[in-house]
Copies of this chain bind each other. A is one copy, B any other.
Amino acid sequence: MRNPRQGRPNRVTISDVGAAAGVSASTVSRVLNGTTKVDPSLAARVHDAVRQLGYRPNAAAQGLARGEWGTIGVLVPDLANPYFPEVLKAVSAVARSHGRRVMVMESDEDPSIEHDLVEDLMRSCDGVLLCSPRMGRADLVVLTARDHPLVLLDRIVPGLAAPAISADFFGGMMLICGHLAQLGHRQVAYLSGPEVSWANAERIRALEAAKAFGLSVTILPCGSTSSCGYAAAAEVAGTGATALTTYNDLVALGAVTRMRELGVRVPEELSVVGFDDIALDHVAHTGLTTVSTPRGQLGRQAAEMLETLMTERHDGEPVYLPMELHVRDSTAPPRVTREPAE
């Protein structure tokens, strides 16, 4: 019952093709890669042989010989987060335009395997795009010291030997705070994202800064999913907040759902703001006020940075991409404006 070719698929090699076409392996290679002019009649014979034998070049052998894989690797924490597919599409487009394919790996938010995955990616890709909000700084230092093209996505860590690009989370949250303050809100709650997430820290940093404008902020531990938001929403009432900010749109939507169930009207009794502007168009029946992450540009530019790094081997300054405020239906002036004085 066992197939004789067991364990070694695609056994037809470039020499087989050469033999079949009556030429040398190098000629086959030349025809296939178009590196040198080849006699048209020979080329035709080669193509025939390729087709007949179903020959496909072995990627490992090519990689070895060329010293290049023709591939870039991307590590993302969680494919289920709608944030990433959009980034990935942009990355793929850029990569393809440079003749490279994209290999995606998911760490599933598990920091313990993340390091290994990156190493794997480095061993089999020309460059890697690393999106790892929670990896410890120590690991990051080790990885970026590897002298392998690597760009950091949505995480800026000073002093690392790798270029980085990120949405300006701090600026985005400032936009939100400004909007809320201008509506007259003073007491704000924040449903916090993952503890050790850099992106979350940036949001909190902005919240802190906003205190200078008279905003008083209560931070509630939460998470990054709609279920987290749903679960944590009940806590908000106790804080006396008239407005709720969140780690992301998913959390916000979860919170809105819960608020509805609790009989709290949004935005009349409580303003709710998201983050990321994930297009859940026509799914969530809430026009959520939020800030948008430029995911396409993020992916595009990150990929370009990596490409530059791979060919020219020098990096630049970290870049922050601005976010944009979208005021929709989930924010309004507070019902009763409380005096800032306690």
Contacts and interface: CB of A to CB of B under 8 A. Distances in A.
B105 A101 contact: yes
Nearest to A230: B282
Interface residues of A, number: 71
Given A258-B282, A283-B250, A285-B285, A68 B124 contact: no
A78 B8 CA distance: 31
A98 interface: no
23 contacts: A2-B312, A7-B68, A9-B122, A9-B146, A9-B148, A9-B149, A10-B123, A10-B147, A54-B145, A56-B123, A60-B64, A64-B64, A79-B88, A80-B85, A88-B106, A89-B106, A102-B105, A103-B104, A227-B281, A258-B282, A283-B283, A284-B285, A285-B285
A3 interface: yes
A43 B119 CA distance: 22
A124 B56 contact: no
A203 B145 CA distance: 53
A67 interface: yes
A79 B119 CA distance: 24
A336 to B, nearest CB: 27
Interface string A53-64: 010111111011
A149 to B, nearest CB: 7
Contact of A92 (B60, B71, B106, B230): B106
A59 B101 CA distance: 17
Contact of A260 (B227, B285, B311): B285
Contact of A79 (B9, B79, B258): B79
A313 B106 contact: no
Contact of A147 (B5, B82, B106, B149): B5
Interface in A223-246: 226-227, 229-230
A6 B311 CA distance: 7
Contacts of A314: 1-3
A89 B105 CA distance: 10
A247 interface: no
Nearest to A79: B85
Contacts of A303: none
Interface in A278-308: 280-285
Nearest to A252: B283
Interface centre among A102, A253, A285 (most CB of B within 10 A): A285
